[in-house]
Amino acid sequence: MPVTIRDVARASGVHISTVSRTFSAPHLVNPETRVRVLACAEDLGYRPNRAARALITGRTHNIGLIIADIANPFFPPLIKAAESQARHRDYHVFVADTNEDAAAEEELVHALAKQVDGVLLCSPRMSNSLIEQLSREVPLVVVNRQLAGLPCVLMDVGQGARSAIEHLAGLGHREIALLAGPRGSWTSRELRRAAGAAARAAGAELTVLGPNPPTEAGGLAQAEQVRRAGVTAVLAYNDLMAIGLLEGLDALGVRVPQEVSVVGVDDITLSRLTRPKLTTVATPTAAAGRTAVDMLLQHDTEFPRTGRGGGAAVAVGARRTTAQVMLQTELVIRDSTAPGPYAGRDGPGATAAGPGPHRRADPGTPSVVAGDVVAS
C-alpha cells in the first residue's frame, strides 16, 4: 500500500537508483529526467522511507531531547526552539521526560541511541562520569552542565547570581538565604558557588537551604525555614521555587518585598504574572535550545556516523566539537525586591538600588565560546 521508490521508478520509466539520486544527489541526474521523476513522485505522494535510508547511511535524521521535567515551565521554550531549529535542518525530535530521575536518564540515552544521530541532555541529573561514558555510545550535547571534552551549552548563572546578590546587598540586605536546587544539578552548584563569593565580597552572610525539588512545592516547603533563618532576602534556584516561596510566605503572613525580598532564576512567563511581580535572573532558554541543536548538527553534512566503507572516514573524520558556549543572563528587576534593614547605611555596594528595571532581551548569541574542535 505505501508508495515506495520502486513505484516512482516504474511510473517515470527509470531505475530506482535514478529516483534515489533525484532526491539525494540531484546534480547527478539530467534536469529533464529530474522533473519527470519529481512529478511522478509528487503524483504518487512518495516520501522516502527514513528507516530504510537510515539503515544504509547510518544517519537517522532524528535527534533525542531528554528533559528533566516537561511540566517545569523552564523547558517548553527550550523544547520549542530546539524542535523548530531541528526541523529547519530536516531533523525530527524525540522528546523524553525523566522525571528528574538519573536512572531514567541513562536508560533513555541507551534506548534512543540507535534511533538518533545525537542526543541533547537538558539539565541532566547523572554523574559526569556516566555522561562521559554515554557520550561514547552516541553524540551528546549537554545543556546546563559543564563537562570537559563534551560540547556544552551553559547559561551564565554564576554571573546572574552575582548580579542578584549585588542587587540585594545594594538594597541593604546582609542576611541572605539561597534555596538550593536538586542534587546533581550543575546550575545549583554554580549558583551556590557564585552567590557565596558575591555575598562574601559584599559583606553579607549566605545561608544555604536545601537541596530542594525544583518546583513550586519545593519553594513552598521552605517558607517556614526562611522565616526561621531570619534572613531578609532570598535567592531561589528557579522561578518556580521562588513563586512557591512567595505563596508560603504569604500564608505565613510575611510580606514580600517589605519584610523579605525574593529573587528567582529563569524568567519564566509566570514570573511577570505573580503579585508581586518577580525579580529574577533571566536565562536565554530558547537560544540554548537553538544553539544546542546547532552544535549537535554542526558536522552533519560532512561526516556520516557509520555506513558502507565509512570505517576509515569515521576514524579519521568524525571530529566532534567540544566547544562550550556560555550564554549571558540578565537580572530583571521587578517588584519582589525592596530595600532591606541596612538600606542607605555604609557598606560595600550599599550605594543604590542598582540599575533600573531591565527588559529581558534574549541574547541569542553566545558571550563566551571556549574549547576547540578535536578528533574524538
Partner DNA sequence: GATCTCTTTGCAAACCTTTGCAGTGAAGTA
Partner DNA sequence: TACTTCACTGCAAAGGTTTGCAAAGAGATC
| From the list DNA, a copy of itself, none, partner contacted by residue 269 (C-beta under 5 to 8 A by kind) | a copy of itself
- Residue 42 burial (10 A CB sphere; 0-12, 13-18, 19+): exposed
Q: Does 11 bind DNA (CB under 7 A)?
A: no
Least separation in angstroms between residue 317's CB and a copy of itself is 14
Residue with grid cell 552572610, as numbered in its chain: 205
| C-alpha to C-alpha distance for 10 and 264, rounded to whole angstroms | 63
Nearest 5°: the CA angle 10, 16, 21 is 130
Q: Which stretch binds a copy of itself (CB under 8 A): 31-39, 162-170, 269-277, 366-374?
A: 269-277
Looking from the CA of 143 toward its CB, the CA atoms found within 13 Å total: 30
Kindly state whether residue 275 participates in binding a copy of itself, applying the rule CB under 8 A: yes
Under rule CB under 8 A, residue 132 binds a copy of itself: no
> What are the cell numbers at 57?
547511511
Contact 263, 253 (CB under 8 A): no
Binding-site size for a copy of itself (CB under 8 A) equals: 49
> Where would I find the beta strands (DSSP E) of 129-214?
140-143, 152-155, 175-179, 205-209
User: Residue 42 or 205: which CB sits closer to DNA?
Assistant: 42
Q: Is the dihedral of CA 112, 114, 120, 123 positive or negative?
A: positive
Choose which of 10, 48, 70, 89 interacts with DNA (CB under 7 A). Answer: 48
Give the nearer residue to a copy of itself in terms of CB position, either 90 or 346.
Answer: 90
Binding mask 156-185 for a copy of itself (x = CB under 8 A): ------------------------------
21 binds, among DNA, a copy of itself, none (CB under 5 to 8 A by kind): DNA
| Pair 176, 236: CB distance under 8 Å | no
Q: Looking at 31-39, 121-129, 151-159, 193-201, which segment touches DNA (CB under 7 A)?
A: 31-39
Asked if 281 and 297 touch (Cβ cutoff 8 Å), the reply is no
Is residue 35 near DNA by the rule CB under 7 A? no
31 lines the binding site for DNA (CB under 7 A): yes
In whole angstroms, the minimum distance from the beta carbon of 188 to a copy of itself comes to 22
Q: Near DNA by CB under 7 A, which window of 17-25, 63-71, 89-97, 294-302?
A: 17-25
- Alpha carbon separation from 168 to 200, 270, 341, 372 (Å, rounded): 13, 22, 11, 37
Which residues are within 8 A (CB) of 143 and not within 5 positions of it... i.e. 6 or more apart?
78, 120, 121, 122, 123, 152, 153, 154, 288, 289, 292
CB of 320 to DNA, least distance (A): 20
Distance CA 8, CA 329 (A): 52
Judge whether 244 and 213 are in contact, CB under 8 Å. Answer: no
Binding segment for DNA (CB under 7 A), chosen from 25-33, 142-150, 228-236, 288-296, is: 25-33
Taking the alpha carbons at both ends of the chain, their separation in whole angstroms is 44
State the minimum distance, in angstroms, from the CB of residue 54 to a copy of itself. Answer: 5
Which residues lie near a copy of itself (CB under 8 A)? 1-2, 45, 47-52, 54-55, 60, 62, 65, 69-71, 73, 75-77, 79-80, 83-84, 87, 92-97, 110-115, 137, 216, 243, 247, 269-270, 273-275, 306, 314
Which residues lie near DNA (CB under 7 A)? 2, 4-6, 13-18, 20-21, 23-25, 28-33, 46-49, 52-53, 55-57, 304, 306-309
